[in-house]
Amino acid sequence: MHKNAVRRHNLHSSGAKRVSTLVQSLLVASQMIASFDPKLVEIVRLSLAVSLTSTLLAACIGLPIGAAVAVARFPGRGAVIAILNALMGLPPVVVGLFVYLLLSRAGPLGALGLLFTPEAMVIAQTILITPILAALSRQVIEDAWAEYREQLKSLGSTTFGSALTLLWDTRYSLVTTLLAGFGRAIAEVGAVMIVGGNIDGVTRVMTTAIALETSKGDLPLALGLGIVLIVLVLLLNFGAQATRSWAKARFG
């Protein structure tokens, strides 16, 4: 009985200690954010640069693929859709490993010397989210195609022309698709860790920094970055939702 009481007391005190660590870390973290701590700002900047670039590149590849698969009818189309959907769940570490093998000195693209650079991280994230953008946009555009198909055919539109028209006409829905891709890119840690190497000041992004600082015990920086990451994702989603409802009211 006595032993148990002591253990309970210890548990309580260590619990209280953990809470105070959390509070302290939160305080320091908010100070860092409020004062635009240069280290924190640099990490956030690189994260945004890498993930926005990846999203842009993935959009250039994924949206045309999505539109083409939505509009075209060809043998094996069902299999292509199944593969696209399956690739949405690509494990980031596997993508990282794949890009690592491509870019490592002995790999086919080793001569480019891209391993452990932000460019390598962009490549990995682009591969990761292109299937997401393709699969989600395919669904959006195919729904629109069901409505537009006869009218566009009646007007004499080609399949290619129809795909372009649909991409433009579903632009506000596709914003949500882009955000899903961006959210996945900025939140993933496995791929950028492997191909970027988490080098301080060069390839350190929010997620890899959080992982590292947590294991080092520098909780305030980890927590500060975590808060920034969550706020960013929230803001983006609010923005997307606002864009959509504004567009719905404005353009129908």
Nearer to other proteins, 202 or 246 (CB): 246
Query: Residue 77's CB: how many other CB atoms inside 10 A?
Result: 12
Any alpha helices (H) in the chain, and if so which ranges? 2-34, 38-71, 77-87, 92-103, 118-154, 159-169, 171-187, 190-196, 206-216, 219-251
Interface mask toward other proteins for 112-151; x: CB under 8 A: -----------------------------------xx-xx
- Chain residues 151-180 in contact with other proteins, contact rule CB under 8 A: 151, 153-157, 161, 165, 168-169, 171-172
Neighbours of 165 (CB within 10 A): 18
For the bound state, the minimum distance from the C-beta of residue 153 to other proteins, rounded and expressed in Å, comes to: 6
* Of 51 and 170, CB closest to other proteins: 170
Segment 189 to 228, residues that bind other proteins, using CB under 8 A:
none
Minimum distance from CB of 166 to other proteins (Å)?
A: 10
How many residues line the site for other proteins (CB under 8 A)?
A: 18
> Does the CA dihedral 19-20-21-25 come out positive or negative?
positive
Helix axes 206-216, 171-187, angle to 10 degrees: 30
Q: Are 117 and 67 in contact (CB under 8 A)?
A: no
Q: Smallest gap, in angstroms, from Cβ of residue 57 to other proteins?
A: 26
Query: What are the residues binding other proteins (CB under 8 A)?
Result: 147-148, 150-151, 153-157, 161, 165, 168-169, 171-172, 250-252
